[in-house]
Amino acid sequence: MPVITTKKELDQHLSSLPKNSGLGLVPTMGALHLGHAALVEKAIMENRFVVVSIFVNPTQFDTKEDLEKYPDTLEKDVSLLAGISGDILIFAPTADEIYNHKVQSKTYDFEGLDKIMEGAFRNGHFNGVGTIVETLLLLIKPDRAYFGEKDFQQLRIIKKLVEKNNIPVAIIGCPVIREPSGLAMSSRNERLSEILRKEASSIYKILQAAKVEFGTKNVQYVKDWAVRQFENHPDLKLEYFEISDIDTLTPIQRKKPKGKYRAFVAVYIGGVRLIDNIALN
């Protein structure tokens, strides 16, 4: 399966495709799992041609250590994609190719969406995500681009980026794919021992139980209750548990009759940082 690494080759491939035939993009950082496979399968169903980018974007990591720990599994990723379809175009550039030897993020105004939750704990993260996603969208010019709802805040911010910069692409959010235990699929799960992986499945169990509590209790009660549940699991170190409006992502104090809310969580387990979220109503 061919892996394209330069913008020039990418351009040659893309310009050989028939015009307006439906092009889907699935941006990834590699270390692919079944969550990515679900995005790729959806993209294949909805488009005639599909590009999967594999690029560990340095500017979205807030620590050098986290970037260095990110798994590089290109060969395995290529065979996973080949098992889905032989027609996928894989774009796996180097950082110098993408950033023209100047690895630096742009600064965006995401109207506050980036100041809370992940943005509050991962300095510069969403400027890095915005920079790479905008670059890929402008290079590839897909009709549709696919992102998982596990990174719900990222998905919301990418929709804002596209809207503010008038980029003609449909941003498609896809449901979280979970392991049979309920643990949200993530490349980071690979760094957990079997015991911790089992323990990490409590994250989703607490989110599900919080959803039940949310049906009858007030917001502060549910937040305090969830914090207590995490305290009962000594291996899980809660970074934040928030209940937010799904559109503004602003943490709420009280429910509104027509409001739509989600609970968001970030947890450390065995030094690995995991995030998850659930629709509450």
Judged by the rule CB under 6 A, the positions of this chain that interact with ligand PAF are 27-29, 57, 60, 129, 132-133, 151, 154
Angstrom distance (rounded) from CA 196 to CA 201: 9
Token pair for 138: 């402008």
Comparison of 29 and 177: residue with beta carbon closer to ligand PAF: 29
Are the C-beta atoms of 10 and 135 separated by less than 8 Å? no
Comparison of 174 and 207: residue with beta carbon closer to ligand PAF: 174
State residue 103 phi and psi, 5-degree precision: -75, 95
Comparison of 117 and 210: residue with beta carbon closer to ligand PAF: 117
Nearest-approach distance from CB 9 to ligand PAF, in angstroms: 20
Angstrom distance (rounded) from CA 171 to CA 179: 25
Comparison of 28 and 189: residue with beta carbon closer to ligand PAF: 28
Q: Please give the distance of CA 124 from its chain centroid, rounded to a whole number.
A: 16
Residue spans of beta strands (DSSP E) within the chain: 3-4, 23-28, 49-54, 89-91, 144-148, 170-174, 236-245, 261-269, 272-279
Nearest-approach distance from CB 132 to ligand PAF, in angstroms: 5
Nearest-approach distance from CB 96 to ligand PAF, in angstroms: 16
Instruction: Show the CA angle centred on residue 157, arms to residues 155 and 158, nearest 5°.
Output: 65
Which residues participate in catalysis according to the annotation?
Answer: 36
Nearest-approach distance from CB 128 to ligand PAF, in angstroms: 8
